[in-house]
A and B are shown apart, each in its own frame.
Chain A
Amino acid sequence: MKRFCIFMIIAIFLLAGCASKVVQTAQPTTSVVTEKPLSSQGDGTKGRGGITEEELARAERERLLREQENRAAALLKDISFDYDSYTIKPSELPKIEAVGNWLKQNRAVIILVEGHCDERGTIEYNMALGQKRAEAVNNYLSKNGIDTGRIKAISFGKEVPVDPGNTEGAWAKNRRVHFKIDQKE
């Protein structure tokens, strides 16, 4: 049983390793693949008491997703917007194109396209505005050949600011579309 468990973990890593090679910045992943299974084995023996294989596998999946996200974050940069606007600024187009290229190279990935607003406005209107921002980005991506089924628009209004401050700088950071890998897929 234990051997099977370890086998599964290694198998997951190998698979993940294959998948991550598609990513352009594959260099750091190789070192991760050689290191991590050892520590995971340790976890496996520790976990015999209470943690089930399923939980272990899930924890691994989550860890891998986080890694993939961290790598993606470097490539999938936030798209910024003017106040009370969901028009894409010309300066942001190269960023969206980079996202499109990344999606073309990672065909299995589905991303959440999150629309966010700064705090200056009503809760309800900002919820709709965030949706429009996310959809404006999605429109551009789909015009660039990305299947609309892979880009899910979701608005968070002003509920999840990156910077809780009340300055012009904080507001500018918060008016954004943020990309996230859909963890459900």
Chain B
Amino acid sequence: MTRYSRIMIIVLGALGIVFGAIVSEARVYLDVYGASFKKITIGVPYFKGEKVEKLPIAMSDLLNKDLDWSGFFITAPNSLIDKELLDEGIEKKEINFNNWRSIGIELVCKGKAQIQNGELILEGFLYDTLDGSMLLAKRYKGPEGDWRKIVHRLADDILLTVTGEKGIMSSRVLFIGGGRNLKEVYTADFDGQGIKKMTNYRNITISPSMSPGGKYLAYTSYKEGRPNLYVIDTEKSTTTFVDRTDGMKLGTSWLNKSALVYSQTAGKYSTIYTYDVERRDKKVLLQREGILTSPSMSPDGKKMIFVSDMYGTPQVFSRDNGSGEIKRLSYYGNYNSSPSWSPKGDLITFVSKLEGGFEICTMNPDGTNQRVLTNDGTINDSPQFSPDGRYIIYSSQRGGKYGIHIMLFNGENKRKLTFTEYNEEQPRFIP
């Protein structure tokens, strides 16, 4: 059998699985976890409005942008859609599904915005043009000033309907912004709005991470002249120190809502600790000579991945937290670092040095199936999955200064996010 025919059989087999999934679970239109998937064409004609001007069009424009950004849809610009189609009503009986289908649109989203008792109300409807069935009908309410947030909620619900999982447009992110010696922790809405400066030390601040639920923010700051590890209680607005002893301390992962996992390099040894912020209780997880850094806990807490130079170069290892057994995961090349688990537990993302560049990669939790997702020969760093495990957010030096980028877990749909005018690094979704 030739190689080609073998590949064909694999592809046909995969298609069979995809079709099987659609038939058995009709609500999920896209098999997102396939190696590749076909994007769905969606039409979002401008929203209708009552007692509001301009806002409905701004909202449908933003929805088009959100859906395009998600990477799962091909959106149709309103300028390419017939006026007759754009003008039709939002109710099922007013829509000519045949006409939509004839221009290749598979799904249509209709919306109507109005102001009632000083509040903005958006009604959103999603139809399948094949049979005219209504897939989603939902009402969103909020202050007029929050119109962007309302659109993001609709976008996330459309993603949920079509892919079986909510979108990320309503998320907030955490990152380090600033110039040399002036790096601070920021949070912001995914769309670049609502930027908040969380630290103001006018010094070096690095490696921010937030506890699940968002109560605690851990980071390392040089505000006392050397790299110490601190935690902000965001509810009480208090800052406490976690570790002020010698050496480099970096927190990178959370075991649960109050226990931070961090590494310390001081003297002959490096140590990975868990530290419970509420009980102020510190435990040693692992101690070795040389470098141990970037610990990341699996979502079920059973395994920990980390970087060690025990074989001379930085490589990714996995440790079974029960048995203590350590397994090397990365073998290719002489520099593999900054690993992080997917919250789904099915993938690990990490950075690998390849032909001069530092590229974002993924692999299975046992080290198999390694894939390279970026290929720009610059420095890409700090990859982190989105809470739904479908996107990877990372920092990249592409274009000179460090900026935040996002892509799908398979490397498709790369986009740049911009929040401030500064260098932006070490991004994470706020869980």
- Using CB atoms and an 8 Å cutoff, list the residues of chain A in contact with chain B: 84, 119-125, 127-132, 135, 152-157, 159-161, 164, 184
- Whether the Cβ atoms of A128 and B293 lie closer than 8 Å is yes
Contacts of B183 in A (CB 8 A): 159
Q: For residue A170, give the distance in angstroms from its CB to the closest CB of chain B.
A: 14
The answer, among A84, A131, A152, for a CB contact under 8 Å with B313, is A84
* A164: nearest chain-B partner, CB-CB: B180
Pairwise interchain contact A124-B227, C-beta atoms closer than 8 A: no
Q: Are A159 and B180 in contact (CB under 8 A)?
A: yes
* Partner among B204, B248, B425 whose Cβ is within 8 Å of the Cβ of A131: B248
Please tell me which one of the listed residues A120, A121, A127, A164 contacts residue B250 in the complex, with CB atoms under 8 A apart: A127
B246 close to chain A: CB less than 8 A: yes
Contact B358 A123 (CB under 8 A): no
CB of B136 within 8 Å of the partner chain: no
Q: Using a CB–CB distance below 8 Å, which chain B residues touch chain A?
A: 180-181, 183, 204, 206-207, 220, 225-227, 246-248, 250, 252, 263, 265-267, 270, 290-294, 307, 313-314, 334-335, 337-338, 351, 353, 358, 379, 381-382, 397, 425-426
B335 touches A84 (CB 8 A): yes
Bound together, the chains give a CA A4 to CA B168 distance in angstroms of: 67
A-B contact count (CB 8 A): 96
The answer to whether A84 and B247 touch across the interface, beta carbons within 8 angstroms, is no
Apart from A121-B353, A125-B293, A164-B180, list 14 A-B contacts with CB within 8 A.
A122-B351, A124-B252, A124-B338, A127-B248, A127-B250, A128-B248, A128-B292, A131-B247, A131-B248, A154-B227, A156-B204, A157-B206, A157-B248, A160-B204
Q: Which residues of chain B come closer than 8 Å to A119, judged between CB atoms?
A: 379, 397
Query: A153 to chain B: which residues have CB within 8 Å?
Result: 246-247, 266
The residues of A that contact B181 with a CB separation of less than 8 Å are: 159-160
Q: A residues within 8 A CB of B338?
A: 122-125
Question: B382 and A127: CB pair below 8 A?
Answer: no
CB distance from A49 to the nearest CB of B (A): 28
Alpha-carbon distance A152/B291, docked complex (angstroms): 19
13 A-B pairs within 8 Å (CB atoms) are namely: A84-B335, A120-B379, A124-B307, A124-B382, A125-B291, A125-B307, A128-B291, A132-B291, A135-B267, A152-B226, A155-B247, A156-B204, A159-B183
The minimal Cβ–Cβ distance linking B221 to chain A, given in whole angstroms, is 12
Tell me whether A130 and B248 are in contact in the complex, defined as CB-CB below 8 angstroms, given that A120-B358, A123-B381, A125-B291 are known contacts. yes
Contact call A184/B225, Cβ cutoff below 8 A: yes
Q: Could you say which of B250, B267, B358 contacts A124, with CB atoms under 8 Å apart?
A: B250
Instruction: Determine the residue in chain A with the shortest Cβ distance to B378.
Output: A166
| Complex Cα spacing A119 to B338, Å | 15
B239 to chain A, nearest CB (A): 21
A159–B351 CB distance below 8 A: no
**A-B pairs with the 8 shortest C-beta distances?**
A131-B248, A122-B338, A122-B337, A128-B265, A128-B291, A131-B265, A128-B293, A125-B337
Per the bound structure, the CA–CA distance linking A27 and B300 in Å amounts to 67
Q: What chain A residues lie within 8 Å of B382 (beta carbons)?
A: 122-124
Q: Which of A84, A120, A127, A128 has the most CB of B within 10 A?
A: A128
CB pair B246 A124 closer than 8 Å: no
Q: How far is the CA of A153 from the CA of B265 in the complex (A)?
A: 11
**Residue contact A125 to B227, C-beta cutoff 8 Å:** no
Neighbouring B residues of A122 by C-beta, 8 Å:
294, 337-338, 351, 358, 381-382
Contacting pair B381 A128 (CB below 8 A): no
Residues of B within 8 A of A154 (CB): 225-227
Chain B residues contacting A184 (CB-CB under 8 Å) are 225
**CB-based contact A155/B248 at 8 Å:** yes
Alpha-carbon distance between A122 and B183 when the two chains are bound, in angstroms: 16
A161 vs B379: C-alpha distance when bound (angstroms): 16
CA distance A72 to B263 in the complex (A): 34
Shortest Cβ gap from B339 to chain A (Å): 10
Instruction: Name the residue of chain A whose CB is nearest to the CB of B383.
Output: A122
Q: Chain A residues near B220 (CB, 8 Å)?
A: 127
**Given known contacts A119-B379, A132-B265, A184-B225, A127 and B206 CB-to-CB distance under 8 angstroms:** yes
